[in-house]
């Protein structure tokens, strides 16, 4: 029997694409690629996240280091940006460059931790309460309301930005979640020690 943290790490460690959704619903959904890959040299539960538009996989729009852990019986995923992140473009496909990512490169994104719970045979995560995950888009600051669901088949995500004063939605999907199918499986790269806790 593996722990829920181990199962979350195993489900996350993969590649995902919403190709079918994007092809069926242009222009509502861009075609996006998401990959999560273990970073064994960092603290247990650390995964490199890369998100890119399928039309330009070499210039990802978001690179982060996530760290999943159990805290007070609950599962959470910390979100960290990378100093000078362009240094790590392409690292998702290059083990040598992934290994160069060190603790000194990480910048915690306060307020942007996901709180995750087990639902059915998968997990659901939502940005922590408090409206503290502040992001800027086109010159306006918004707080992020984001959730994801993951299971053996794939992942569904929804990101929205809201005005910190009025709580009005400023941007984000009106049409519903991005629906990703699993394209790659990187669970074999998880250190066995991470799965024993
Ligand atoms: C921002 N999207 C964010 C942020 C998070 C996520 C955490 C704010 C903090 C950050 O930049 O890291 C979402 N991060 C995730 C999700 C996971 C994760 C779901 C999986 C566990 O690790 N985002 C998209 C679509 C588009 C979108 C292409 C749909 C509307 O993937 C928009 N997300 C979007 C925008 C921002 C954002 C516009 C804020 C500004 C920016 O980053 O450009």
b/e per residue, 72-83, with b = 16+ CB within 10 A? eeebbbbbbebe
Asked if residue 65 has its Cβ within 6 Å of ligand 1, the reply is no
Q: What pLDDT shows up at residue 173?
A: 85
pTM of the model: 0.95
What residues are paired with 34 via a beta bridge? Answer: 16, 51
Asked if residue 186 has its Cβ within 6 Å of ligand 1, the reply is no
Q: What pLDDT shows up at residue 197?
A: 75
Asked if residue 49 has its Cβ within 6 Å of ligand 1, the reply is yes
Contacts of 73 (CB under 8 A, 6+ apart): none
Asked if residue 128 has its Cβ within 6 Å of ligand 1, the reply is no
- CB 93, CB 83: distance < 8 Å: no
Cα–chain center distance at 162 = 20
In order, the DSSP letters of 2-19 are: --HHHHHHHHHSEEEE-H
Q: Which of 21, 63, 146, 171 to mutate to test the pocket of ligand 1 (most atoms within 8 A of CB)?
A: 146
CA–CA gap between residue 13 and residue 190 (Å, rounded): 8
Q: What pLDDT shows up at residue 154?
A: 98
Q: Which of 11, 144, 161, 176 to mutate to test the pocket of ligand 1 (most atoms within 8 A of CB)?
A: 144
- Helix (H) / strand (E) containing 20: helix 19-24
- CB 186, CB 9: distance < 8 Å: no
Q: What pLDDT shows up at residue 159?
A: 97
- The predicted complex's ipTM stands at 0.88
CA–CA gap between residue 86 and residue 91 (Å, rounded): 10
For atom 42 of ligand 1, the residue with the nearest CA is 135
Q: What pLDDT shows up at residue 1?
A: 57
Asked if residue 51 has its Cβ within 6 Å of ligand 1, the reply is yes
> Of all atoms in ligand 1, which is nearest to the CA of residue 160?
30
CA–CA gap between residue 162 and residue 29 (Å, rounded): 20
Per the rule left: phi > 0, alpha: psi between -120 and 50, beta: everything else, 112 is alpha
> Of all atoms in ligand 1, which is nearest to the CA of residue 144?
8
| ω into 51 cis (within 30 of 0) | no
Ligand 1: distance of its center to the CA of 51 in Å?
9
Q: Which residue, among 144, 141, 110, has the nearest Cα to 126 in the 3D structure?
A: 144
pLDDT in tens, the chain (197 residues): 589 999 999 999 999 999 999 999 999 999 999 999 999 999 999 999 999 999 999 999 999 999 999 999 999 999 999 999 999 999 999 999 999 999 999 999 999 999 999 999 999 999 999 999 999 999 999 999 999 999 999 999 999 999 999 999 999 988 999 999 999 999 999 999 999 97
């Amino acid at each position: 029997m593996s722990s829920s943290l181990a199962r979350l790490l195993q489900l996350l460690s993969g590649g995902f694409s919403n190709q079918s959704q994007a092809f069926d619903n242009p222009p509502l959904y861009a075609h996006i690629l998401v990959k999560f890959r273990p970073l064994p040299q960092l603290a247990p539960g650390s995964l490199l996240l890369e998100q890119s538009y399928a039309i330009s996989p070499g210039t990802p729009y978001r690179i982060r280091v996530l760290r999943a852990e159990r805290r007070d019986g609950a599962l959470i995923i910390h979100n960290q940006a990378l100093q000078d992140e362009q240094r790590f473009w392409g690292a998702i496909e290059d083990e040598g460059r992934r290994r160069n990512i060190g603790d000194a490169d990480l910048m915690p994104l306060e307020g942007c931790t996901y709180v995750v719970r087990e639902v059915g045979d998968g997990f659901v995560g939502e940005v922590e309460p408090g409206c503290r995950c502040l992001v800027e888009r086109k010159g306006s600051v918004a707080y992020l309301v984001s959730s994801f669901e993951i299971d053996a088949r794939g992942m569904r995500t929804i990101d929205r930005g809201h005005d910190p004063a009025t709580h009005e939605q400023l941007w984000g999907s009106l049409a519903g979640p991005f629906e990703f199918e699993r394209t790659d499986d990187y669970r074999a790269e998880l250190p066995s020690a991470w799965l024993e806790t």
